[in-house]
Structure 1
Amino acid sequence: MQEESGKITAKEYLEQVKVKEAVIKNLERDRTNLVAMMYSMGGAGSGERVQSSKDPDKLGTLYGKIDEKERKIADEIDKLIDFRLKVSGEINEIEDERYVELLHKRYIEHESWDAISIDMQYNTKYVMKLHGCALQEFQSKFNDMLESY
């Protein structure tokens, strides 16, 4: 949720990496479904076929949609790569190395709290408290950018 002032929070901003990855996965599912439709339409069945469609080139139209979807996927992947690099660079600008490690593991690598706790050798409750402090630090350091995002 965005704060009432309209600016995005540090957590919301960092979570955009995962959101952008989900968009790509959904586009890939759509492409897979279109390809499956194309293959299911491609076989000639036995018996007479009645032309009932207004589109005489269903396969061509479907192929065009698949191509369009693939271009969209490639575009979104490019955007994701750029955004991940930007976010990773911003995280690396934070001075406390614990915050850098924690934010990177959580928002770039999408590790669970338990995995982060084990890696950092802290208990989960402490990692979550540290996470709150790391988000405050990120918010403070990038407040102007977050206000205009």
Structure 2
Amino acid sequence: MTAKEYLWRVRDAERELKRIEQEYKQAKADILHLKAIRYDTDKVTGGKTCDLSDAIATIEGYMERLNAQWDKLIVLRKEAKVLIERIADGRYRDVLTRRYLQGQSLEEIAVDLRYNYRWIKRLHGRALGEFEKLAPESPL
């Protein structure tokens, strides 16, 4: 695994978390639209009745997935941060932290640091090279 692939795991975990959060919000919104079951009408067989308990179970399932994804993201961020902090050059640490831990684009980093975009791309490449040198063999 390259340094870039290793660091992208953090960004991917964050995107997955946001996706699960969206699904969770949608499931909560769906609960608000559940209609009461009318027992005085004719019964239709073969259909599945979705009641509030099914919806609550679905919500709890999303909460478990959210908690697990948060735990995963926290561990990945912590591991990446420890490895990034081992880099001697502060510019490299700053670029990698902003790119992979804070989710900024290279364009945003260039604007924030008041550097030329091409220079940030070079710094990013050099920072990845340093990250690969300092990172232990096991995660990469």
Query: Which runs of 5 or more residues in structure 2 are unaligned?
Result: none
Evaluate the alpha carbon distance shift between residue 52 and residue 29 of structure 1 in structure 2; reply closer, same or farther with a 3 A threshold: farther
Tell me which residue corresponds to 2:101.
108
Q: How big is the alpha-carbon RMSD for the aligned residues of Structure 1 and Structure 2?
A: 2.2
State the secondary structure of the residue aligned to 1:145: coil
Change (3 A) 1:44 1:128: same
2:134 aligned residue: 141
1:56 Cα deviation from its structure 2 partner: 4.9
Equivalent residue for 1:86, pick from 52, 65, 79: 79
Partner of 2:34, secondary structure, is helix
TM-score using structure 2 length: 0.85
What residue is the counterpart of 2:59 in the other structure?
66
Count of matched residue pairs: 139
Deviation at 1:43, TM superposition (A): 4.3
Task: State yes or no: 1:37 paired with 2:30.
Answer: yes
Q: What is the SS of the residue equivalent to 1:122?
A: coil
Post-superposition shift, 1:84?
Answer: 1.0
Answer whether contact 1:9 1:146 (CA < 8 A) is retained: no
Percentage of identical aligned residues: 27
Describe the shift of the 1:82–1:146 C-alpha distance in structure 2 as closer, same or farther (beyond 3 A).
closer
Aligned to 1:5: none
| Range with greater deviation from structure 2 (59-68 or 33-42) | 33-42
Where in structure 1 are there 5+ consecutive unaligned residues?
A: 1-7
Name the residue aligned to 1:76.
69
1:16-35 CA distance string (max 9 Å, x none): 11110111111112222222
Residue type of the alignment partner of 1:139 = E
TM-score of the superposed pair, with normalisation by structure 1: 0.80
| CA deviation profile, 1:46-97 (whole Å, cap 9, x unmatched) | x936444565563212211111111110121122122212211211111111
Out of 51-60 and 113-122, give the one that drifted further. Answer: 51-60
CA distance in 1, matches of 2:44, 2:53: 16
Does residue 9 (structure 1) correspond to residue 11 (structure 2)? The answer is no
Matched ranges for 1:114-133 at <5 A: 114-133=107-126
One-letter amino acid of the counterpart of residue 144, structure 1 = E
